[in-house]
Amino acid sequence: MTLRLENLCITLAGRVLAKLDLTVSGGNVLTIMGPSGCGKSTVLAALIGALPPAFSMRGRIWLDGVDVTQVPTHARRMGILFQNDILFPHMSVAGNLGFGLPGNVTARRAATDAALSEAGLPGMGARDPATLSGGQRARVALMRTLLSGPRALLLDEPFSSLDSNMRASMRQFVFERATERNLPVILVTHDHDDARAAAGPVINVMGERIQL
């Protein structure tokens, strides 16, 4: 799968905030870094089709050769993961994983069981998410996103609430899942170790290369 940002230009009050023209192919990670407030999260909001009204955008967004610029968020199939991604507290782990999944009970059960195993949590579907560790919750949040069948994965500081050991293993877990599924990934981070581990190009919101 391929994600292409064609001459994307995002403005806020007449000022250019971000300018990107690039392609990310499946299994590759593009990292966006830059100071607080420079527009990193705004770029991701534009990609999922949820740009706040204060901003305007020109250019096109392509997923696998399909122009999704005007496709509404729910139909766009961009998976996004945030820092401190919240699992629904009133649902079990399996309930979280199966939320919104199509198919009958048996099909949903099979999908959530497979996701639990992949997350290293086999048989833990009935658990209350509050009883999981931070790393376990992060893996469930990723698997929930992946179960929705995204065609690209956007990561907004998804590792920053984890301690450094957990952070390294979660990074590896996320990048492996994305590679297996051939998903293009855009990672927003402040962390140089994250950027190095991503092993792809590192740019700012103007598309300029950053040397680590």
Ligand X SMILES: Nc1ncnc2c1ncn2[C@@H]1O[C@H](COP(=O)(O)OP(=O)(O)OP(=O)(O)O)[C@@H](O)[C@H]1O
Chain residues that interact with ligand X, rule: CB under 6 A? 12, 34, 36-42, 52, 54
Contact by Cβ (8 Å): 190, 160: yes
Burial category of 46 from C-beta neighbours within 10 Å (exposed 0-12, middle 13-18, buried 19 and up): buried
**Which of 65, 92, 61 has the alpha carbon at shortest distance from 78?**
61
**Position of tokens 């990048």?**
175
Nearer to ligand X, 37 or 123 (CB): 37
Closer to ligand X at the Cβ: 43 or 63? 43
CB of 63 to ligand X, least distance (A): 22
**Of 38 and 210, which CB lies nearer to ligand X in the complex structure?**
38
Please, what is the minimum distance in Å from the beta carbon of residue 41 to ligand X? 3
Task: Give dist(CA 195, CA 118) in Å, integer.
Answer: 24
Kindly state the smallest distance separating residue 192's Cβ from ligand X, in Å.
Answer: 14
- In this complex, which beta carbon is closest to ligand X, that of residue 52 or of residue 100? 52
Q: Which amino acid is at 5?
A: L
